[in-house]
Structure formats: structure tokens, C-alpha cells
Amino acid sequence: MQLIGIHHHQRMRGRDVLRTAIAKTLCSHLNGAYTKRFVRMRLKGVMRDVRLIKLHTWQVWRLLKLRAIFFTGKYGWNALHLTSPYSCNKVFCTAPKLQIVILCRLGNTASQAHSPGAIMQRVVMVVDMQNGVFESPRFDRAGRVAQINRLIRQADITLFIQHREGNMIEGSHAFALLPEIEQPQNAYYVTKTACDSFWQTTLASLLSTLAITDFVICGCATDYCVDTTLKVGAGLGYRITVAADAHTTADRTYANAEQLIGQHNEVWAALSMPGNVPRVVDTATLLAEWR
């Protein structure tokens, strides 16, 4: 449980205190800018300036997906306990000092629909862009690497997934990332042994530690590790965006690589995953959203 903020207000009604504290917390985690009178929020898909006095409970529920239990008392709204479907999000408002204490680590719920700009952190997951993987020809290597590097440069967090199998063992040339892939100093690395990047790896715990619920996926191979990781991740509740022109594969017996990439982009965008269908957009669109 992470301490986000403690706010003291003396001459305000409990409801106003609650609104103010939640507004501050929302702003700090949704890339908003808090002022005393206005808070910038995404309402009905549009970023708007909303007066704090008009910050209604339904807006809080919509943005935080909270369930509320109200305890009435002498001061009215003097105690309020908000609980969330996800981990440890609690807001307490107590009288008579009307002190708000927020103890939580905010995050988006998996059921929230994707929308441009909704990603709280710009996170890129790069799958298996390793020397050993590229010993056999892969479609548009230079072009895909260029797009991946564009994403890495603009990302807040980069996660590199590396496959260990056969001669691809830690410390070997085959295991290492392609030399043309840019590696930020603050990047994170996860080793896997299966197509599923979550299977018996540290990935889930790392995402939890970093409070990551949304990420962009790219890398290799489209029809193996990228596909499996995306589907497993979406099933676990992560909100995933595919960089449509930043993943690659090899020609197969019954379809060439370019056809497989196009087919998988189409299938991913139409997955039967109610409330959490992956987004599939090109790199240029993603970078425009991130600006």
C-alpha cells in the first residue's frame, strides 16, 4: 500500500473535502493539472476543465471504478469509505477536522474501455528482439526495429522480454538483444522459456511493482510469442495496445510473414474480450497520442 497524499481542510463541508482530495489524486495519476477551482478530467472521452464543486460522485465512480459505503453522523458525510475492485484503493474522510487521508496505489481497472490518451504511463514491452531469433530471416527487420526504437525513445518505461532456449542462454550472443535495438538505462528485463511471457516468469510481479496496467506490445514473433503474450495478458486484465507496424515474423509453410502480420492485427482488434479488446494502431498514431 502506497501513501499518495494527506490533505487537511478545516472550513469545508465533508463532501467538498472529499471532492478536493479525490481531484488532487486523480490529477496526479491521470496527467491532469490541479488548481484550487478546476481539475482537468476526461469525461465522455473529452478532456475538460471541471469545477471542483461540480465533481459529482458518478464522475468519481466512472474514473476510479469505486464502490462507496457512506456512514452518516453528526457532521454529515463525516465518514466515508471507498473501496475498489482492484488492490488497496481506499479513501477515508473523518470528522470533526474533516481530514482526508488517501492510502492507495491508483490504477485503471481491466474492464475500462481503451481510449486514446488513457494510458497512465507510456510503457513499451519489446518481445524477443534477440540475435538468436533473427538468425533466420524476419520480415522488414530494419523497418520494424526503427519503429520499435521510436516507441522506446518516447516511452516512460521499457520492458524487454528475452527467450531462453537451446543456444539462447544468458550471456550468449544469441540471447542478447539485436545491437540496433536501443536500450535505455532504466529498462527492465524479463527472461522467459515459453511463448507466454507470463508463464513462470517475473513479469506479472514486475508489472505489479511498477503499477503498470497498460502497455504497448511489439517485437517478434507475431504468430508465436507476441500473440500468446498479448492474449494471456488481456485475459489477466492488462489493457494492451499493439503497435501494428512494430512486430514481425518469418514466412511459414502456408502464409508469408506479411500476410501473418496483417491477419494477426485484424484478429487481435476483433478478439472476443468484452471490455478489454486490445487496441491495434500504428506507431505514428501512438506517438501522436503520447505527445
Total residue length of the chain: 291
The type of residue at 127 is V
- pLDDT given at position 280: 97
Residues with Cβ within 8 Å of residue 274, at least 6 apart in sequence: none
- pLDDT given at position 80: 34
- pLDDT given at position 23: 52
What are 20-23's contacts with CB under 8 Å, separation 24+?
20/52, 20/100, 21/91, 21/93, 21/100, 21/102, 22/55, 22/60, 22/64, 22/91, 22/102, 23/52, 23/55
End-to-end CA distance of the chain: 31
- pLDDT given at position 121: 81
Integer angstrom CA distances of residue 134 from 122, 158, 188: 27, 21, 21
Residue 91 near residue 80, CB atoms below 8 Å: yes
pTM: 0.62
123-290 topology per CATH: Rossmann fold (3.40.50)
**pLDDT digit string (tens) for the chain, length 291 residues:** 222 332 333 334 444 555 555 555 544 444 444 333 444 444 445 555 444 434 444 444 444 433 333 333 333 333 333 333 333 333 333 332 223 233 222 333 333 344 444 445 899 999 999 999 999 999 999 999 999 999 999 999 999 999 999 999 999 999 999 999 999 999 999 999 999 999 999 999 999 999 899 999 999 999 999 999 999 999 999 999 999 999 999 999 999 999 999 999 999 999 998 889 999 999 999 999 988
Q: Where are the domains of the chain?
A: 3-103, 123-290
Q: At what angle do helices 14-29 and 57-64 cross, to 10 degrees?
A: 30
The type of residue at 248 is T
- pLDDT given at position 291: 83
Integer angstrom CA distances of residue 193 from 36, 89, 198, 223: 51, 34, 10, 16
Residues forming a β-bridge with 69: 81
